[in-house]
Structure 1
Amino acid sequence: MAPYLKPVELQLRQRLSRPGDPLDHVCFIESGLASMSIESRDGVLQEIRIIGQEGLIGHSALLGSQQWAYVTVVQIEGVGLEVPVKALVDSLDLPDIRAFFHHYVHVCDVELAETALAAAKYTMRQRLARWLLMCEDRIDSDYLPLTHDSLARSLGVRRAGITDQLHVLEGEHVIRSTRRMVRILDRSMLVHIAGGCYGAPKEAYERLLGDHHEPANGTLLPGVAEPALVRAAPVYRSMTA
C-alpha cells in the first residue's frame, strides 16, 4: 500500500468532496480537521461529523460506495495522505486490515448516533462543550484555531449564541477565547458540562482500535498509547507498508 500513499495539503475551507462526485480516493488526515456535512435538496448544510488524525475522509468506500454522499470541508488546515479506493479495497483481503476498518466504520456510526442525540436532547452549552472536546481529541492540542462563525456553522446555531456561551465558559475559567482561537483550560470541566452527549465514540475507538488487539496470526497490530485516540493513518501505514 505504501507506494499508493500521496501526501496532500489540506487548505482552510478547501472543499474535499461533493455529493454525487465519484468516490475514487480517500484521505487519511495526519494533521488538521475536516467537517463532514449533509446537504438537503434545497441547499441547507448541517455538520454531522468531524474528522481529524484519528480517521479518514471517505469511509463509505469501505462499504462499497462509489459516490460521495456528503460535503467535506477543511476546518483546520493540515496535511493528509490520499490513497486510491481500489488500493484501499484490495487491502481488505487481509483479515487484520479488514477487521480494523470494520471497527472504524462502527465507530463512525456511533459518532453519528451521538451527534443526533446531542442535537435533539442537549442544550447549546452542552453541545458546544462536546464539540470543543471532540476537536481537541482530533488535533491533539488544547489550542483550537476556530472562529465564532465556524463554531456556529458546525452546531447549526446563531453566531451570537456561540459568542454568549464562549463568554460564559471563559468567565468560568474553562476556556480562553480570542477572535480566531479557543484554548481549553479545564478539560475535566468541559467533560462535566457536556454530560451524557460526549464520550461514546471515543470509548468505542479506544476499545476497538486502541491498545491493543492480537490477531489470530499472533502479530500485534501497532498502535499509539498517547494521545488517547489511536492515529488511524500511522496505524494503517504500519500495517500496509
Structure 2
Amino acid sequence: MTQLLQRQVRNRLLRRFPEDSFELLAPLLEPVELPVRHSLVQPRKPIEHVCFLESGLASMVAESADGKSVEIRHIGREGIAGYPVVLGVDRTPNGTFMQVPGHGLQVAKENFLPTLENADVRQLLLRYVHTCELQLAHTALAAAKFNVHQRLARWLLMCHDRIDGNDLPLTHDFLALMLGVRRAGVTDELHILEGMRAIKSTRGNVRILDRDMLIEIAGGCYGVPEEEYERLIENSPQPSALPLHLNGNHHHHTL
C-alpha cells in the first residue's frame, strides 16, 4: 500500500497531527468500510481499535440497566471512535455504532497508544475529549430546558455538520433514539420543522432546506460545543502547515 499522505485524509484530527507523528502512525492505519449498524465500540467489551472516521456518522449510545437507551453524541470526521483509550480507559458501558454508512482509518489500540507519548498529539486528543464532554453537557441542557422540536433542530444541525450535502439518510427510528421520544412523536416534530420550511422529510431521509432557520429554531441549544471545537482544534496553532479546511464545497461547519 502506498504511503498515506496527511493532506489526503479527511479526518479533522488526523489533519492536525504533527507531521512526524502522522508519518509514524500512517503505515498502521487500515482503511475500513463502515456499513450501517457496524459496531465500533461494544459496551463493556475491551476497546481493541481506535477508528478515525473519514465519512459517515456514528452514534454513541447510553443504555440503562433495564435496557432503555438514548443517543448521547455523534461522531463524524471531526473525531474518533474508541476515544476513552486516550483517558487510559480500556472499556466503557456506552456503545458506538454506525448510523450513516461511511469509511474510516482504523488502528489497533496497542499501535495507537504510543502516539500519545508526543505532547502535541496528547494535547490535541485531550482537547477533543473536552469537546466531547461539552457536547454531552449540551445534550443534557437541551433535554432539560428546550422543546423537542428545538432539540430535533439541534440534532439535525449536528448531523448536517458531519455529512456531505443536504440529504441526511436518517430513519424515524434513529431520530426517536436521538431524541429519546416515541417514534410517533418524531413524525409530529418533523411536521413542525417542515411547516417552518426548514426541512423536507421523506421516508428514511431528511433534506435540509434552510440551515439558518434550523439554527434559529434550535436557539441556544446549538453552537457552543461547535465553537469550542473550532477554537481548540481548528484555530489552535498547528504543528504542521496544513490547510485548515477539509472541504471547500461545504457552506457550513465540516465537523
Q: Same fold (TM over 0.5)?
A: yes
Contact map agreement 2:149 2:192 (CA 8 A) in 1: no
Contact map agreement 1:143 1:184 (CA 8 A) in 2: yes
The one of 30, 34, 39 equivalent to 2:58 is: 34
1:92 Cα offset (Å) = 1.4
- Tell me if 1:64 matches 2:88: yes
- Tell me if 1:80 matches 2:104: yes
Q: Where do 5+ consecutive residues of structure 1 fail to align?
A: 232-241
* Distance in 2 between residues matched to 1:5 and 1:194, nearest whole Å: 37
- Tell me if 1:104 matches 2:123: no
Moved more, 2-11 or 221-230: 221-230
* Distance in 2 between residues matched to 1:230 and 1:187, nearest whole Å: 14
* Distance in 1 between residues matched to 2:134 and 2:185, nearest whole Å: 27
* Matching of residues 1-241 of structure 1 within 5 Å: 1-215=25-239, 219-220=240-241, 223-224=244-245, 226=247, 227=250, 229=253
* Distance in 2 between residues matched to 1:180 and 1:113, nearest whole Å: 28
**Secondary structure, counterpart of 1:80 in structure 2:** strand
Contact map agreement 2:59 2:99 (CA 8 A) in 1: yes
Contact map agreement 2:60 2:95 (CA 8 A) in 1: yes
Aligned residues: 228
> 2:166 corresponds to which letter in structure 1?
D
* Distance in 2 between residues matched to 1:52 and 1:44, nearest whole Å: 24
Q: Where do 5+ consecutive residues of structure 2 fail to align?
A: 1-24
Contact map agreement 1:210 1:225 (CA 8 A) in 2: no
Contact map agreement 1:191 1:198 (CA 8 A) in 2: yes
> TM-score, normalization: structure 1?
0.89
**Secondary structure, counterpart of 1:43 in structure 2:** coil
Post-superposition Cα deviations, 1:30-74, rounded to whole Å, max 9, x if no partner, equal 111111011111222111111111111111110001113311121
Moved more, 51-60 or 67-76: 67-76
* Distance in 2 between residues matched to 1:53 and 1:214, nearest whole Å: 18
Post-superposition Cα deviations, 1:73-122, rounded to whole Å, max 9, x if no partner, equal 21001111111122222111112211111111111111010001111111
> 1:69 corresponds to which letter in structure 2?
P
1:164 Cα offset (Å) = 1.1
* Distance in 1 between residues matched to 2:246 and 2:63, nearest whole Å: 36
* Distance in 2 between residues matched to 1:140 and 1:210, nearest whole Å: 19
* Distance in 2 between residues matched to 1:33 and 1:147, nearest whole Å: 13
* Distance in 1 between residues matched to 2:78 and 2:161, nearest whole Å: 8
**Secondary structure, counterpart of 2:74 in structure 1:** strand
Contact map agreement 2:162 2:254 (CA 8 A) in 1: no
Contact map agreement 1:210 1:230 (CA 8 A) in 2: no
**Secondary structure, counterpart of 2:158 in structure 1:** helix
Contact map agreement 1:104 1:209 (CA 8 A) in 2: yes
